[in-house]
Amino acid sequence: MPRLITGLDAARVRANLEQARETIAAAGRDPAEVAILAAVKYVPVDEIDTLREAGLDLLGENRAQDLEEKATRFPGFRWHFIGALQSRKVKQIVPHVELIHSVASESAMRQLERHGTPDTRILIEVNVAGEEGKAGIAPGELAHYLEIAPVKVAGLMTMPPFTEDPEDSRPYFARLAELAAEHGLTELSMGSSQDYAVAAAEGATIVRIGTSLYA
C-alpha cells in the first residue's frame, strides 16, 4: 500500500503546479481550460492546508469517510469525489462535493434519485477499453444511463489500462472525447500524473494529478 504523503512543501508544490500548467500548454491546450485536480487520497488531513498555500483550490478524494472529514475541515476548497462510487455511500458524499466522477451503476443512480439535489452534478464512468473486472459502463450503455440519470450529467470519466507509455492511453482518451461529443457532454475527466499531457491533448477538461504535484 502506498505510504501517506507527509512533509509537503508549499513552494515545491507550487512549482510542480506551474510545471503541470506548462505541460498542458505544451500539449496544445489553454491551461485555463483544463482544471488541475489534486488527488489527496494519500495526503493526511493535517497536510491539506499546505495545498492552499501552494495555489491549489480543487481537490479530489477517493474514500467517502476521508472526503467527509477533509471537506468538513476545509470547506474553502472545491471538492470532487473521484473514487469507486458505492451506492451506499452516495448520501454521505453528496453534501460535500460539486462533482462525482465515477457513477457506473444503476444502484448508484437510484441513490442519487433519493439523495441528489438540484446542484448535484455527476460524470458517468466509461470502461472504454472493455477491461474485465474494471469499473465503468460499456460505451454502448451510455445512452441508457443518460436516460435514467436523475441528476445533471456533466460529462464522462475513464481510467485507461495501466501502461508505461502514456501514448498507449491516447486512443482511449480520444474515444471518450468522441462519446462525449456524440451526446453533447462537455466535461471530460481523464489523465493522471503519468499521462495527463496526452489526456489534455485529447480534450480533457479535468486532469487528476497526485504524485507529480507532491514530489
Q: Give pLDDT, residue 1.
A: 52
- Residues 130-150 pLDDT 10s: 999 899 999 999 999 999 999
* CA dist list (Å): 52 to 8, 14, 76, 94, 211: 11, 10, 9, 23, 17
Residues 191 and 198 sit within 8 Å (Cβ to Cβ):
yes
- Residues 186-206 pLDDT 10s: 999 999 999 999 999 999 999
- Domain ranges in the chain? 10-214
Q: For domain 10-214, which architecture applies?
A: Alpha-Beta Barrel (3.20)
Residues 64-72, mean pLDDT to the nearest whole number: 97
- Residues 99-111 pLDDT 10s: 999 999 999 999 9
- The cell for 76 is 474553502
- Identify the band that residue 120 occupies on the pLDDT scale cut at 50, 70 and 90: very high
Residues 76 and 95 sit within 8 Å (Cβ to Cβ):
no
- Identify the band that residue 15 occupies on the pLDDT scale cut at 50, 70 and 90: very high
Element of type H or E holding 207 = strand 206-209
What are φ and ψ of residue 132, in 5° steps? -65, 130
Helices (H) and strands (E) in the chain, counts: 9, 8
* CA dist list (Å): 112 to 91, 117, 153, 186: 8, 8, 11, 21
CA–CA separation, 68 vs 178, rounded Å?
34
